[in-house]
Structure 1
Amino acid sequence: MKTTLNFILFDSHSEFAAWLASQKVSRKITMIQNHHTWLPNYTQFNGSNHFERLEAMRNFHMKSNGFAEVAQQLTTFPDGKIAYSQGRGFNIAPAGIKGANANGICIEHFGNFDIGGDNLTEEHRDTILFLNKALCNKFNLEISTEHVVYHAWWNSAGHCIYDLKTGAKKSGMSVKSCPGTNFFGGNTVVDAQKGFIPLIKSYSTSNNNKNNNNEESDEMKLSDNEWKMAKTALQNLYDKKVISDLNWIKKAEKKELTISELSWLNLILLSRK
């Protein structure tokens, strides 16, 4: 993890997951917004200029768009890393989709994913799926097009131009192609239902270890009985108000709790003694 005044850059999925589990969010979250930056695109990323690109986006949003801060809470990069905007935290509404910001979390995916633009790297693709699933789990959202949304589904007036459940097109024109006409197979609701949503649902942290910097597997190898004991222990901590996030219990129930997350929790518990 690397931190500047304005951003936090996470080196791995497990590091981000542990951090996310510790975050207390008072806003009601019902939508995870997916955007692409369009510009900058992959040609402006050299593998090490994450903070430079983030600051450039922040300056553009504030000086050219008149925003109080960078628009998005989260940014994903071609190398699979995730950045969090400290000035646009989870408890502040994003400036992402007019009409859908009040209860939204905004993710900017670095690149141009229109047809003829950038091709998602394997690391970037994996991170996008990981992040959407992690946020849906965090905020107890069903993984569907009613909660995982694209900017292209709204018009310039802030009205949704699709039935988010059926995918049927209403009247109106998309304000942008965002997150791209080639983003996981297309940018309509039906495209997302056929491509993006099933991939998020089926995503597992064991799918790809490349975004953990080729470290040894972070997976906890426990027996069924040991997982039950872990769930019971976490439930006891929750009942005693030692921890306040039910996602710890859910992760143990789904056998998705990682070594890094458990280490983070131990550190937090020790600091409270």
Structure 2
Amino acid sequence: MARNFKPYMITQFQSFIHTLDLKRKINHIQIHHTWEPRKSDYKGESTIASMWRYHTETRGWQDIGQHFTVAPDGLIWDGRSLEKDPAGITGYNRGGIMFEMIGNFDQGEETLEGEQLDAIIAAVRVLLLKFNLSTNDIVFHREHSAKTCPGTGITRGWFLNEVKNRKIMELNPNSYDNADQWKRIAIDWLYEEGLISAEDWKDNINKGLPLWAEALVLKRIYDKAKA
């Protein structure tokens, strides 16, 4: 049976988490890397679906192991129900929320940087605030396993310093001045409705929709109505 997955931009992820009402007690945040697939293997939702198939069909789990997957392009894909513990660290899953970062971040391999780094740091900050946790509650897979996960190229000290100090895009859309508010709301809506792509969203979110994009949206609405 096929399974669909939903992507979030950082501000969308923040809004989703802030409105969340979980029955399950959250006491830590798990950080993992996929190792495989690598960043260079990423092909959008099909990559997430492949992981889901591996977890459910090969490993026999009820669902994909992680709650969220952070992609190289900065999208945060949903996964396992947040009311269920992750399948991440044997014997240490109770109360956890699990992030899987696509890539092999062992030394000499790929690098956690750019939009992907912004996304994981922003997402972790949102969860720390939501569940009243501290950076001491961030857990690397390798702390309870012989694995290198989330990669020998990522030290705990560096990662926690990024969580505390990294400057990233403003998380709160309400902090934008009034002249920009309508712009962000409209562009977010167009993306959520599938009328513009993630690439279009990134292109336009801080500069407003140019005329070509408005024409493209109208054409896609027309095409949908004809279908």
Fold-level similarity (TM above 0.5): yes
Hey, which of these two has a bigger chunk of helix by percent? 2
Partner of 1:251: none
Q: Displacement of 1:221 after TM fit?
A: 5.5
Indicate which of 114, 119, 126 corresponds to 1:127. Answer: 119
1:152-203 deviation per Cα after TM superposition (whole angstroms, max 9, x unaligned)? 0113xxxxxxxxxxxxxxxxxx2x11000002xx3xxxxx1x3111221224
TM normalised by structure 2 equals 0.73
Partner of 2:224: none
Separation (CA, whole Å) in 2 of partners of 1:96 and 1:6: 21
Q: Displacement of 1:5 after TM fit?
A: 4.5
**8 Å contact kept, 2:29–2:139:** yes
Separation (CA, whole Å) in 1 of partners of 2:126 and 2:173: 16
Indicate which of 17, 23, 26 corresponds to 2:23. Answer: 26
Which portions of structure 1, spanning 4 or more consecutive aligned residues, are displaced by more than 4 angstroms? Answer: none
Partner of 2:152: 181
Separation (CA, whole Å) in 2 of partners of 1:154 and 1:5: 31
**8 Å contact kept, 2:82–2:97:** yes
1:109 counterpart = 2:106: no
Question: How many residues are aligned here?
Answer: 180
Separation (CA, whole Å) in 2 of partners of 1:121 and 1:203: 12
**8 Å contact kept, 2:3–2:49:** no
**8 Å contact kept, 1:41–1:111:** yes
Partner of 1:160: none
Separation (CA, whole Å) in 2 of partners of 1:25 and 1:111: 29
Separation (CA, whole Å) in 2 of partners of 1:116 and 1:35: 18
Separation (CA, whole Å) in 2 of partners of 1:24 and 1:6: 22
1:55-111 deviation per Cα after TM superposition (whole angstroms, max 9, x unaligned)? 1000011122111110000000101110111xx211011100112111101110000
**8 Å contact kept, 2:13–2:123:** no
Question: What 5-or-longer segments of structure 1 have no aligned partner?
Answer: 156-173, 187-191, 223-258, 265-273
1:199 counterpart = 2:175: no
Q: Displacement of 1:31 after TM fit?
A: 0.8
Partner of 2:175: 220
SS in 2 for 1:195: helix
Question: What's the % identity of the aligned pairs?
Answer: 31
Alpha-carbon RMSD: 2.4
SS in 1 for 2:173: coil
Partner of 2:200: none
**8 Å contact kept, 1:133–1:203:** no
Question: What 5-or-longer segments of structure 2 have no aligned partner?
Answer: 178-183, 190-227
The residue type equivalent to 2:169 in the other structure is N
Indicate which of 10, 13, 17 corresponds to 2:10. Answer: 13
1:16-73 deviation per Cα after TM superposition (whole angstroms, max 9, x unaligned)? 111111111111111100000000001212xxx3210011000011122111110000
Partner of 2:60: 66
